Chain A
């Protein structure tokens, strides 16, 4: 199968759906001429130029206008530039977009997407490195996609572009250039369907986004130690695939949850609580969580490496849960 990058997968999803649906348009900072700060939109530059807009640095309007545009019949795709800057216009997201349909008794189709990069890169420090997907899982009213591969990026984004609900898409900065197999023929990936990225029988690792790759790398090391890890990529957090996670835990009897966002109060706690409520008798040990230490992402490389988890953190936690 041909291989394309994560960015190209996003571009293909956009182009295919923009051709099908003339109501799709996209806007944000630095996208129409530059193709986005990490080049995510480079594949679509030069096409549909009247439907790709550079905007003022006005986050509350970037987000809030997406609600107005969707109520007026369009399908806006608004870019948040960096996940950290969701906070800058957060009231439009949390008080308007995420509440409108519920508050009005189900009125309107809020078909809008907020998308952009999250996570660490090479020393971007605390205001350009955050992963804040947990917040959108905590507050009701938006669906969350967190793709880890070009295949998932394309299939999930195409589904988002056809959905009639608000969707937020977190694209890890360090994944944009990553290549992976993507078929030529069209496909969609439904929300709420996790993907087993590697089958295993000893311990279940539940993760998303960049940490899928760290977990796979860890599993390669662990297999040499005779530990067979099952890597479950949730792909979407709202909704999340409870059935598949429970099924995997019932098979392996052990669970480790891995995310780049902070360990304290991170979404892993929600998964852990659910599994112990519904599959307590199947567990042979405590559920462990891996996440960033509870400080901000520091600048200096050794500091960032210390705070943010990587494959070594996964290896350590898996060994711990297996008492080896």
Chain B
């Protein structure tokens, strides 16, 4: 398929922005500047980037605990993201959620999720709403390999199939559920094989190939928009970092990680762009510099922002009142 230069460079730029956000988050966490836990998307940037290029603003996603990449690719404000990681009042959740609960309902991000597979039922509900409203929006529900072993995954796929909902179930198989290898915890070789049980298409794609992800998701999104129902896509990738920053990683060897790093999506796509003569060294450098600057600005914004007033902990439970005083 032919794409213009800007479209392809856009993929590269988004992946580089996600990478820079994650590298900075890791650095800040190790400097003890960020409270809580951080789960990094390094090495998986192609999935969010390729998938989201098919979405409009009125489409929805549900994300995961490893959700920074999804947010950025869907168009979130990295300043508000970084401020939330710091627990500041200017963050997306005013400091009430942190990394695992970032959401931006105004751009269709129905939440990262601290619960494995927690987003799938929510995605199904958004799909039901779209169908009731007779719109042509779609929902992409991102989830990991571990989530495919939860009941919610099976309930959600059956339900979406029965009602032919416009939901794309996008599995990011990064080979590890926390410390456990997918091969040791999962009954099938390919998570996409589970689609058969729900009578929907199941597709496997190289999750480190941004163009391939884009194409596969495009087909699923087109089908969903035109009333053809859900698709299960398994994007095979590899979790370069530990489950969380600080994970002692006792379950694999460094040599395995080094080998997988050869296939990481950004340098792969970069080679393709150079081969196609689409990008120059100067353009590449400029994209990285811009991304670094953007993240630097986000860090400045977050650091200059105030912590929330302690009493603000008693707000936001309900729409119509504070809800704590009874």
Contact = CB atoms under 8 A, between A and B. Distances in A.
Interface of A: 23, 25, 51, 55-56, 58-61, 63-74, 76, 91-92, 95-96, 100-110, 140-141, 143, 163-165, 192, 238-240, 242
Contacts, number: 163
B152 interface: yes
A68 B122 contact: yes
Contacts of B120: 61, 64
Given A105-B94, A140-B324, A56 B128 contact: no
13 contacts: A56-B159, A58-B159, A61-B156, A64-B120, A68-B125, A68-B127, A91-B118, A104-B97, A105-B95, A105-B316, A108-B105, A141-B317, A238-B326
Interface residues of B, number: 51
B319 A72 contact: no
Contacts of B113: 96
B110 A60 contact: no
Contacts of A92: 118, 121, 152
Contact of B101 (A56, A104, A110, A164): A104
A141 B318 CA distance: 7
Contacts of A140: 317, 323-324
Interface in B132-181: 132-133, 139, 151-152, 155-156, 158-159, 162
B132 A51 contact: yes
Contacts of A192: 326
Given A68-B127, A74-B128, A108-B105, A101 B316 contact: yes
B162 A68 contact: no
Contact of B121 (A65, A104, A108): A65
Interface of B: 60, 62, 91-97, 101-105, 110-111, 113-115, 118, 120-130, 132-133, 139, 151-152, 155-156, 158-159, 162, 315-321, 323-324, 326
Contacts of B320: 163-165
A107 to B, nearest CB: 5
A235 B247 CA distance: 50
Nearest to B100: A103
Nearest to B102: A104
Given A102-B96, A105-B92, A64 B122 contact: yes
Given A65-B124, A101-B317, A238-B323, 15 more contacts: A61-B121, A61-B125, A61-B152, A67-B121, A68-B125, A69-B129, A76-B128, A91-B152, A104-B102, A106-B94, A107-B93, A108-B103, A140-B324, A165-B319, A239-B326
